[in-house]
Every structure is written in structure tokens, then in C-alpha cells.
Chain A
Amino acid sequence: QQQVKQSPQSLIVQKGGISIINCAYENTAFDYFPWYQQFPGKGPALLIAIRPDVSEKKEGRFTISFNKSAKQFSLHIMDSQPGDSATYFCAAKSRSNDYKLSFGAGTTVTVRA
């Protein structure tokens, strides 16, 4: 049973456009919500992360929006570039679960030039 549900499975966006990926969770004990970027044949790399006491966090072209009451969070990639083409995973973890990461299913983003 996947604790973090992620959508869409894939998306295609034009260069300069906005990519939006959504995630939802049920476990209210989650206290840390990272997003990872993975290129083919490579391990995931941390992109940006947020804690539930913050509603938004921005780092460069990447923004996380967090809605605690709805138990949802999303990643926005502004001004998408071809180099952003990768698979993105949302995740969540809690101190009470030994900080094990629960991953979403992943979203493959393709940025067309």
C-alpha cells in the first residue's frame, strides 16, 4: 500500500512552461517532505524539501506548495528546461518510523525544446 500517492505518471511540457506534480498522503505523522530528481541510470538527488509548518518553499525555479489540512503537496517547476527532463519522486518520512522514506510512484517529465 503506497503511503504517498503521486500524479500524473508522466507529463510533457514545452520549454519555458510550468510543470506541476501533485502528491497526497494519509499519515499525519509525516514531518518531512522531500522531492527527488532522478536521471536514467542514476540514483535520486534531493531537489527541495519542506516541513509541514511551512506552506511554500522556493529554491530557484523549483517551488513546493504544502497544504497541511488537505494533506497534499506539489512541486512546481517554473521556466522548464530540456535539462529538467527526468523522473521526479515525492516522498515523506516521519521520526516515528526511523526516518524511512515513503516514495510516490514517480512522474516522468519531458521538456520539449
Chain B
Amino acid sequence: GAVVSQHPSRVICKSGTSVKIECRSLDFQATTMFWYRQFPKQSLMLMATSNEGSKATYEQGVEKDKFLINHASLTLSTLTVTSAHPEDSSFYICSANQGGTEAFFGQGTRLTVV
């Protein structure tokens, strides 16, 4: 299957700083990528849909100024957590659609804000 690479896998940052997470489709072009957040022992919660060359669409309740998404190319989407606070600590996961229905997930990024 197709490969989606997410970087970094773990990051620790100080409160008030910003953190960027990258999501790359390695062997296919992804017109649409999705960003999820997952709390311990819970399901994945969709944060936003990222479309190449256009603004991201955010789910209700997700602060677009806090979670900046940029889909600059058909193989790269980035999520920047701005002015991070401890409550932003979570597991962030991206997925990419190759064009059909199957979604390929990255390995996730564990963000810890101290």
C-alpha cells in the first residue's frame, strides 16, 4: 500500500512556542489530507481537511488560528500548533487519500507541551 510519513514522531516543546508537524505522501500524490487528534484510549477526532492549493476546512470547535494547516504541494501538508499550551498535548495523526476511498495514515506525532 501507499506510504504516508509523518515527522516528527515525538516532540516536546515549551508552553507558548509553536510546533510544526509534517505529513508527506511518499509514493503518491494526495489531493486531500486529513488531520486528526487522538486522546489516550479514545477514537480519532477529525480536526481539519487539507486540500492542495486551497484553504483548509476545519471541523466545528477547532480553532483555525491555533492549528494552522498548509497543503503546499501534492505530497506535503503541515500542521502548526501555535502558542502551544499543555492542553494541546496529544497524539496528532494525518492521513492522505490517493484519490479513491482508501485512506493511508501516518505513524502519528506525540506532542507534549511543558
Q: A interface vs B, CB < 8 Å?
A: 2, 31-32, 34, 36, 41-46, 49, 89, 93, 95, 98-101, 103-106, 108
Contact = CB atoms under 8 A, between A and B. Distances in A.
Interface string B1-13: 1001010000000
Given A32-B101, A99-B97, A100-B34, A43 B108 contact: yes
B112 to A, nearest CB: 13
Nearest to A104: B43
Interface of B: 1, 4, 6, 32, 34, 41-44, 46, 49, 91, 93, 95, 97, 101-108, 110
Contacts, number: 56
Contacts of B32: 98-99
Contact of B49 (A31, A43, A89, A100): A100
A22 to B, nearest CB: 15
B59 to A, nearest CB: 9
Given A41-B91, A43-B107, A93-B101, 19 more contacts: A2-B43, A32-B101, A34-B103, A41-B110, A42-B108, A44-B44, A46-B104, A95-B101, A98-B32, A98-B49, A99-B97, A100-B34, A100-B49, A101-B34, A101-B46, A101-B103, A105-B42, A106-B43, A108-B41
A42 B43 contact: no
Contacts of A32: 101
B105 A43 contact: yes
Contacts of A31: 101
A89 B42 CA distance: 10
- When A and B form their complex, which 7 residue pairs have the shortest distance between CB atoms, in order from nearest? A43-B105, A43-B108, A32-B101, A103-B43, A43-B107, A43-B93, A44-B105
